[in-house]
Amino acid sequence: MTRRERILRCYNFQRPDRMPIEQAFYGGALIKYGQALIDLMNHYPNDFGGAKHTDYAEQIRDLDPDYHSEDTDPWGVKWEGRYEGILGMPLYHPLGDLENLQDYEAPKGTDSDTLQFLELMANVAKAKETDITAWGSPWLGGMCLFERMQWLRGYENLMLDFAENRPELHVIADMIVEAYLREIDCGGQLGVDVMSFADDWGTQEQLMISPALWREFYKPRYKRMFDACHEARARVSFHSDGMILDIVPDLLEIGADIMRPQFSCLDMRKMAAMTKGHCTMVMDLDRQYILPFGTPEQVREHVKEVVEVFGLPEGGLIGRGEIMPDVPLENAKAMMDALMEFGRL
């Protein structure tokens, strides 16, 4: 069974030969562990992307204790990085002053006749022979509606805007949605299998805004984008960290096919009661406590519990855990061993 066949069977609840595995290690971990991490991951299957990690070897280098970077993204947000291999923080918000909104223009993304688009089309067609192809707005820095509003406006300003019910919020949100709809159209022309959205909606205990406000302001906009994805015959993948149980039924209602929540903030059994058999769940093994600070046996038991809570013989569960610099290699190995051990439902 090819990687593509395995994942499609998982998505469609058609009994894959085993649970698909999505490896996820990040730049900071690669800098810390180097070739040892690559060798470890190459020992296990990776159903999303390439089978081996030979292309990472050139990224191995010593950690720079004086590392500092500043970059500006396509939306004009300036980012500062202070630790190599870890996502930075916004340093400048182009709509921090709403007076700038009048002259601000969202990036246009790409045009369908550019060489880059044609190259992508050829790469997607080739990849679909064995792999699932995904689209995450490569020209606009990912499809993040709530987070993009934060980065443009600033988090505190955005929260105050909601408290004051400022009409400019609708202008900013709709501008972002229109930009993403153009990106979704590009992904549809490519024929990708999955379109990916990511907005961290929760604190450790609750949503950052009230569920009622979320349903009034954000739900219709997400639905518009999700509908466009489905019209393009692509599945919708939605990632969100934090405590988001209040809006999980809403996300399912408007068409989230694949969900990527943060397990350490949730009651997994409550989440499973809402989602099991209705969407594909991508594991986010506990990266706050168990993966970085637990023992290998605790990691193994955690994977076992997650599979017991969310797993079905028909499919609907993908094995995944993020390896960050604070995760010991022995815990990374224990995680991968357990995914293989318990992944044959």
* Angle at CA of residue 165, ends 160 and 169, nearest 5°: 85
pLDDT of residue 165: 95
pLDDT of residue 64: 73
Q: For residue 153, with 0-12 CB atoms within 10 Å meaning exposed, 13-18 middle and 19 or more buried, which class applies? A: buried
Provide the token pair at 275: 């989602």
Q: Using 50, 70 and 90 to split pLDDT, how confident is the model at 60?
A: low
Over residues 279-289, the mean pLDDT reads: 96
Within 13 Å of residue 68, how many CA atoms lie on the same side as its CB? 2
Provide the token pair at 195: 């379109």
pLDDT digits (tens, 9 = 90+) for 227-256: 999 999 999 999 999 999 999 999 999 999
Which range is least confidently modeled, 113-122, 130-139, 183-192? Answer: 113-122
pLDDT of residue 324: 94
Q: Does domain 3-342 have CATH number 3.40.50.300?
A: no
pLDDT digits (tens, 9 = 90+) for 155-191: 999 999 999 999 999 999 999 999 999 999 989 988 9
Provide the token pair at 192: 């990708």
Over residues 140-148, the mean pLDDT reads: 93
Q: Using 50, 70 and 90 to split pLDDT, how confident is the model at 141?
A: confident
pLDDT of residue 227: 98
Q: Is the pTM higher than 0.75?
A: yes
Whether 51 has a pLDDT exceeding 70, the answer reads no
**Domain boundaries defined on the chain:** 3-342
Provide the token pair at 190: 């490519």
User: How does 40-54 read in b/e, with b if 16+ C-beta sit within 10 Å?
Assistant: bbbebbbbbeeeebe
Please answer whether residues 230 and 251 qualify as being in contact, where contact means their C-beta atoms are separated by less than 8 angstroms. no
Whether 55 has a pLDDT exceeding 70, the answer reads no
Q: How far apart are CA 322 and CA 187, in angstroms?
A: 26
